[in-house]
Structures are given as structure tokens and as C-alpha cells.
Amino acid sequence: MFRTALRTLRSHRLRFAMPTVDVVLGVAFVTGSLLYGDSVRAAVNRARSNSQPDASVSITADPAAPHRLDDTLLRRLRALPSAAAARGVVEGRSLLVGSDGTLVGDLNQAAGVNYVPDGGGKDVRYPLAEGRGPRGATEIAVDRRTGRAGRVPGRRPGAHRRGRHGP
């Protein structure tokens, strides 16, 4: 009986090996996909925490709620006994107009945020490579790529608002 089994295995090697290879490959692919999912999840969480290194809590507006996120709410949050600090952040789409009247930069990556400096004049969320941060409503800071695409430092930028543009 044992000789018959060995003879059958020798004559049908592929028939014996293929299910074994299939099981090994299946286990390897499932393990790989689980590890990849965990590493992507960890990378996203790390990027999220690194993008706001000074934030422990984030409050966002509910479009359906009648309440607004305004300076009154910001003052109330700062007054909480357990709050070390509170900062209002504005994020949205922001487009620049070049000196020739055309939009500058990649329209799919057109993002604008407010710059909220600390006591030293720096915003920990957006470390500047050179220069200083904006000091008032008439100043902006742009990334290097946008700066190379036609923005001249010191010139007044144009802003694109709902189909029209101006200073």
C-alpha cells in the first residue's frame, strides 16, 4: 500500500504540489494585505497627528446646526479651566492671480489656511523655509512652487473670489 502511494506521488508530482503552493500563496497574500492595511492606517494616523502637533481636540462646524464657530465660541473655549490654549483655524480653497491675469498654480491643490502665529511670530502648523509669516489681512505666504510660478515677493497678489478676481 505504501509503495502504491509513493508511486502515485512520483507519477503525479504536480497534482500533489499545486494545492500546497496554492495554500502557501493564499496565506502569503492575506497576510500581506493585512500588514499593508495596518501600515497605511498607522501612516495616516501619524500624518494626521504630525499635521497638528499642538492640537489635542478639534471642533468642527456641523452644517445642519444653527450654531456658528466664531470669536465668541473661541473666547469661551479659551476660558475653560482645562484648556491650555485655543486657536481658530480657517481652511478652504484659495486661488492666486498672476501678474498676467491668469490663475497661478495647480487648481486641484489650491488650498488656503489662516496663519495663526504664537508669541514668537511663528505658526507651528506651517514652518516657513524663509522670510516671515503674514502680519496682517493684506499679506499672504505662498509655497515655493507657487512663488516660482509667477509670484514676485513684495507685489500685491490678486485673489480669485467666486468667478471674479481683484486685489
Is the torsion defined by CA of 79, 82, 87, 92 positive or negative? negative
157, 86 in Cβ contact below 8 A?
no
89, 104 in Cβ contact below 8 A?
no
Both 117 and 153 in one domain: the answer is: yes
pLDDT at 17: 85
pTM: 0.46
**Which residue in the block uniquely carries the three cell numbers 496663519?**
115
Both 105 and 140 in one domain: the answer is: yes
**Which residue in the block uniquely carries the three cell numbers 500588514?**
35
Q: Give the structural domain span for 115.
A: 89-167
Both 106 and 125 in one domain: the answer is: yes
CA-to-CA separations, 71 to 29, 113, 117, in angstroms, rounded: 52, 17, 17
Walking along the chain (167 residues) 10 residues at a time, the average pLDDT comes out as: 85 85 94 93 80 69 74 86 80 76 75 80 80 80 69 51 44
pLDDT at 21: 92
Both 117 and 77 in one domain: the answer is: no
CA dihedral 59, 60, 65, 69 (to 10 degrees): 80
Both 44 and 99 in one domain: the answer is: no
Both 71 and 128 in one domain: the answer is: no
Both 131 and 75 in one domain: the answer is: no
pLDDT at 164: 43
CA-to-CA separations, 67 to 50, 60, 83, 90, 92, in angstroms, rounded: 29, 11, 21, 16, 19
pLDDT at 30: 95
Sheet containing 96-97: give its strands across: 103-104, 96-97, 158-161, 164-166
Both 20 and 44 in one domain: the answer is: yes
Q: Give the chain's domain count.
A: 3
